[in-house]
């Protein structure tokens, strides 16, 4: 039987149209192609979903420590001293400052907060812990001036954001006042729960997740690479965690949110019932994604204190 016919699918017309449009640029079996081809496809996909920049928002690029590209976003109205550190997704293999530019711009604008995006090194050229080290270097540099921040990431970036928060706590680094994890991959077992139920979900399969983990080469016992392995969660900053129902990574978000709550952390958790992985890009064509993005912006705004 063709697994694509039997795989779980949402019913919302907007998200189905989004998925069809995505596969025209980034085929379901993209991970079987060369890294160079995957990146060309992904760049074309991201360009397809580009959006107009919010009025009055400015951007500034720089190299941190002479080697890590970062992009500063400053919206026309800034209502808080707290900044947002955004870490993009892409399976640790694809993605850049450009791939998530429109998302970062709209998030900064909606939350009325300055935002900094990181262009970390990608695998397989740079395996674990290169991406993590780049992001932590940016985090430490931003916190050095005494201004607090909220760490945000989607998918692989959600993994990195969660790991950064854990490392910051382990090293006594203060100033992170919130964490926002958007359909994050946090180290689930690949065989149970949503990894089995949504193994062939549209947009991301369990086999894809396994591929990205293999490429990254993160040690299995690292809690920074696999935050679900962490036991010491008390004292972590408040969290906003959002999952997509039709996503093999769904239960990573569910389980981590529950464990944070058990540890006494203030958590807001949303599971978008009709969404698939990477639904952020559908925010202008799907009613569910539009509402999910609105809630996400509100969640970030509360954490940065702009509302």
Average pLDDT over residues 14-32: 95
Q: What is the DSSP letter of 91?
A: T
Domain boundaries, the chain: 22-304
pTM greater than the 0.85 cutoff: yes
SS3 72: strand
Among the listed residues 101, 134, 154, 247, the single catalytic one is 247
Provide the token pair at 37.
Answer: 């081809």
Mean pLDDT along residues 191-212: 98
Token look-up 């107009």 returns 52
Q: What is the pLDDT of residue 3?
A: 42
Catalytic-residue membership of 174: no
Cis omega (within 30 of 0) for bond into 129: yes
Q: What whole-number distance in Å separates Cα of residue 5 and Cα of residue 10?
A: 13
Cα-based angle 268, 95, 154 (whole degrees, multiple of 5): 5
49: helix, strand or coil: coil
Whether 247 is a known active-site residue: answer yes
Residues with Cβ within 8 Å of 213's Cβ and at least 6 positions away in sequence, in order, are: none
For residue 254, the tally of other CB atoms under 10 A from its CB is 17
Each residue's pLDDT tens digit, 39-72: 999 999 999 999 999 999 999 999 998 899 999 9
Q: Which helix (H) or strand (E) holds 296?
A: helix 287-304
Contact 59, 75 (CB under 8 A): no
Closest CA to 177 of 224, 258, 253, 235: 235
Catalytic residue selected from 117, 155, 194, 205: 155
Would you mind telling me the total number of residues written for the chain in this entry?
A: 307
From CA 16, how far away is CA 10, in angstroms rounded?
7
Quick one: fold of 22-304? Rossmann fold (3.40.50)
pLDDT for 248-281, tens place per residue?
999 999 999 999 999 999 999 999 999 999 999 9
| The pLDDT value given to residue 7 | 79
Residue in 245, 252, 277, 286 annotated catalytic:
277
- List the helix and strand counts (H, then E) for the chain: 10, 8
Chain centroid to Cα 53, Å, comes to 20
Contacts of 202 (CB under 8 A, 6+ apart): 7, 9, 10, 19, 28, 246, 276
Does the pLDDT of residue 2 top 70, yes or no?
A: no
pLDDT at 5 over 60: no
Active site residue 192: no
- pLDDT at position 305 is 97
């Amino acid at each position: 039987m063709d697994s694509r016919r039997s795989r779980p699918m949402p019913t919302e017309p907007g998200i189905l149209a989004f998925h069809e449009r995505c596969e025209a640029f980034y085929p379901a079996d993209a991970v079987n192609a060369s890294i160079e081809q995957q990146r060309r496809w992904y760049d074309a996909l991201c360009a397809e979903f580009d959006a107009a920049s919010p009025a009055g928002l400015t951007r500034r690029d720089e190299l941190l420590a002479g080697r890590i590209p970062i992009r500063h976003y400053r919206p026309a109205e800034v209502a808080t001293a707290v900044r947002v550190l955004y870490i993009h997704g892409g399976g640790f293999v694809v993605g850049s400052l450009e791939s998530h530019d429109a998302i970062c711009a709209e998030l900064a604008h909606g939350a009325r907060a300055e935002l900094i995006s990181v262009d970390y090194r990608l695998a397989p050229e740079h395996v674990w812990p290169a991406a993590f080290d780049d992001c932590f270097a940016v985090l430490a540099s931003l916190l050095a001036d005494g201004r607090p921040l909220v760490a945000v990431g989607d998918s692989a970036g959600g993994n990195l954001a969660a790991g950064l928060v854990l490392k910051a706590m382990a090293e006594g680094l203060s100033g992170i006042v919130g964490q926002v994890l958007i359909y994050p991959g946090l180290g689930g077992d690949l065989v149970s729960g949503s990894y089995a139920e949504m193994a062939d979900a549209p947009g991301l399969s369990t086999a894809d997740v396994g591929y990205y983990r293999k490429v990254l080469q993160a040690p299995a016992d690292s809690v920074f690479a696999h935050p679900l392995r962490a036991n010491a969660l008390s004292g972590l900053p408040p969290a906003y965690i959002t999952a997509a129902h039709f996503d093999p990574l769904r239960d990573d978000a569910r389980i981590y949110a529950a464990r944070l709550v058990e540890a006494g952390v203030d958590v807001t958790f949303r599971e978008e019932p009709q969404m698939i992985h990477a639904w952020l890009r559908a925010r202008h064509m799907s009613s569910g994604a539009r509402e999910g993005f609105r809630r996400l912006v509100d969640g970030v705004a509360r954490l940065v204190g702009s509302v």
